[in-house]
Structure 1
């Protein structure tokens, strides 16, 4: 029987964590899928200036010890999981620092958060050590084969056939509310200017977004020549992310997550992840009197009189208010989009997904469908969406908080569509036989 192939879109931490765990399983003689990663820019590109999400010089918001093997509690190989974790330690952050001769210095400096660029070097080091297979190219279409038993990923130069697909990454950083207007910068445009050391000079600057993407931009803007910086977000204020032991445990260990009600899960995620700034960034904001906050969602943007006028909608009790504000420069930092891949779905793939979901494909329907293996329930071949797994499976899966658990969940899944279809057929046959037996028994009892 041939080895199944798992294709991963995006060569970031999640792809590398799964590829590293699969490689170590094979060294133990345990069957594991062939992991093929399709990447448009380069390994760990989103942690470098080339990816458009950073200039590479800002600090990682998560502890670097939450690396590709964290939390080192593998559950894939009974009686050999400790051995598997030991092998994964060869790909740890500490092992990387030892390899490049910086471990003692890092410890003596108090274990500081590394820059994004250094984190990307770590990820590349792991990918090189395991010989990760990378197909260079941007995925232009996600389809299925004629039998709907395999995924077909189309790039400009290649087609990758896979038994299962995992989608990763935050999407494209090039989008903005007014594309092409020099007074409106996308995330990528902002960071490209920062990487080129181009200082922004403006009186009134607006940053759209209240999450960590916008927070990192604010951290960068502090050194630019701007008079006022207005943060626009739907929240009533700029909340600080909870970073204590109990909050962090929710991300590292989702054991009790499923026991929470849906409203409790949403509340926990809102308090610790969505639309919140890290304590480090908030401390910097307090020290800078140029920062302002406006509550609302941007409903409309127009260029007029050498300014960008933003129309904001906000709910005030039972009423909805609408206000207009003018800025010299607007930075659209509204952040990542976990549904970025949906426009790439071919009609047959979209039909297959909606049939499995039993309803139209939306962000809500996908989130609520994510199973224990981080794949969409009821869909064969498997489609893993860890970026949407937070609500059902735990808030650590969409980010860097439990990459080792993520790789366990994905690699424990049955990736063979044929076997899943066979199992489904067997179950259907068994159910039909049971129904026939029940019907016979009832008929005999009537007689």
Structure 2
């Protein structure tokens, strides 16, 4: 007579945000649960809008029509190495980009290959993410997370559930606490756009997060050329990927001949290509860890912050009148028919530039999730400054217990010291492996 099997308590993780990282984690948890170990890893995704929303074109951050810059072969399971064979097979057969296309129809995959394997649009990528999450065993909880609360060595999630979809917007209910307790939390997503202070210039000012859902208003503002100065420039604040995407949209929508000023602490757009030499570092862990922390930070910044892919730069090549002003924008004020951008130059002098329209693209707050913690929780580890120090993050992309006195919190966006590809789409499979494999025991493998 067989001895009864011992009941195993599953690992339960909460992922905040239903984008690419959530999809990769969901795919890997499915593969692990169906191949190795007896202790399942359960994923709950807390998503405020919809799976893949930030890529869809309906929720800001993009129009959805832009082309994905990261090669799509770097999909949810990439790079498919150093895996137990069964995990690798499930990831590729069930969750790869090719599997997604074939699931639509064999003709879709055929057309993609014979059409030259063209990069998908952001909206197409959003559909892929949605498909992958739905084909996994992850549970999606629709709601806006408003707090992370420590409870008996685990996490509880405070969130406002979606209670109604009213026209184009969602209505959220009162905050409630999650029914489940979580062994760990994974925070994902770019966070809200960082914004320069604006005073009385609303109809002429747009930001890199919300402008994509206000394109009709953008077109109206662009058509209102100040009669006294028809050559008044369009001002872009910032010189990273968001700024370049905005300029590319403007160039493609009849504004190519306008006068542009870019205000930034970069003197130009820094380009990013698909280099075989850089790519080797994304999945060569030993080589990466042999580099000193300063070099790792410089390399990650070079590829992930304030850089523009060559494919986007090609769309900007036809813009003739564009000038860079070195400085840090401090305020945007409005007049009757235009706006004025104030900035501090390299010598801390205050400079003002009149603008017909302003696009604020200074970036996003990658530490947005700290606002979900209580003051008491923040006091346990010293806040952001303590977490920005070198060697405070482990191989599982969670902050080390020597500094972090709370349950495990995995923060891929802050993981540049561990690997250069976990912040972006470059190594989604490796990112998921780092986080989930830490919850396996030796007997699972």
Q: Scaled by the length of structure 1, what TM-score is found?
A: 0.83
Q: Given the alignment, which residue of 331, 338, 357 partners 1:307?
A: 338
Which residue in the other structure is 2:85 paired with? Answer: 82
Matches within 5 A, 1:17-416: 17-30=24-37, 31-75=39-83, 81-89=84-92, 90-101=94-105, 102-145=108-151, 147=152, 149-157=153-161, 158-160=176-178, 161-173=181-193, 175=195, 177-178=197-198, 181-194=202-215, 198=219, 200-201=222-223, 202=225, 203-226=232-255, 227-304=258-335, 306-315=337-346, 319-352=347-380, 354=381, 359-362=382-385, 365=388, 368-378=391-401, 379=404, 380-390=406-416, 392-414=417-439
Q: 1:187 to 1:248 in 2, by over 3 A?
A: same
**C-alpha contact (below 8 Å) 1:366/1:388 kept by paired residues:** no
**C-alpha contact (below 8 Å) 1:91/1:126 kept by paired residues:** yes
Deviations 1:134-162 (A, max 9, x none): 111001112212x3x01121012442231
- Greater mean alpha carbon deviation, residues 60-69 or residues 227-236: 227-236
Report runs of 4+ in structure 1 exceeding 6 Å deviation: none
Deviation of 1:302 (Å): 2.1
Q: 1:10 to 1:415 in 2, by over 3 A?
A: farther
Deviation of 1:8 (Å): 0.5
Counterpart CA distance in 1 for 2:440 and 2:307 is 36
Which ranges in structure 1 are unaligned for 5 or more consecutive residues? 76-80, 417-447
For the residue of structure 1 that corresponds to 2:186, the secondary structure is: strand
Deviations 1:245-289 (A, max 9, x none): 112222344432121112212322333232121112222222221
**C-alpha contact (below 8 Å) 1:228/1:290 kept by paired residues:** yes
For the residue of structure 1 that corresponds to 2:160, the secondary structure is: coil
- Greater mean alpha carbon deviation, residues 224-233 or residues 110-119: 224-233
Deviation of 1:211 (Å): 1.3
Deviation of 1:111 (Å): 1.1
Q: Does 1:4 align with 2:24?
A: no
Q: 1:12 to 1:189 in 2, by over 3 A?
A: closer
Counterpart CA distance in 2 for 1:262 and 1:232 is 30
Counterpart CA distance in 2 for 1:136 and 1:367 is 35
Which residue in the other structure is 2:172 paired with? Answer: none
Counterpart CA distance in 1 for 2:194 and 2:326 is 24
**C-alpha contact (below 8 Å) 1:164/1:415 kept by paired residues:** no
What number of residue pairs does the alignment pair up?
A: 400
Deviation of 1:388 (Å): 0.5
**C-alpha contact (below 8 Å) 1:60/1:115 kept by paired residues:** yes
- Greater mean alpha carbon deviation, residues 218-227 or residues 195-204: 195-204
Q: 1:121 to 1:360 in 2, by over 3 A?
A: closer
For the residue of structure 2 that corresponds to 1:166, the secondary structure is: strand
Q: Scaled by the length of structure 2, what TM-score is found?
A: 0.84
Deviation of 1:214 (Å): 1.6
**C-alpha contact (below 8 Å) 2:195/2:362 kept by paired residues:** no
Q: 1:363 to 1:236 in 2, by over 3 A?
A: farther
Structure whose alpha-carbon radius of gyration is higher:
1
**C-alpha contact (below 8 Å) 2:57/2:122 kept by paired residues:** no
**C-alpha contact (below 8 Å) 2:272/2:310 kept by paired residues:** yes
Counterpart CA distance in 2 for 1:345 and 1:135 is 20
Deviation of 1:225 (Å): 4.2
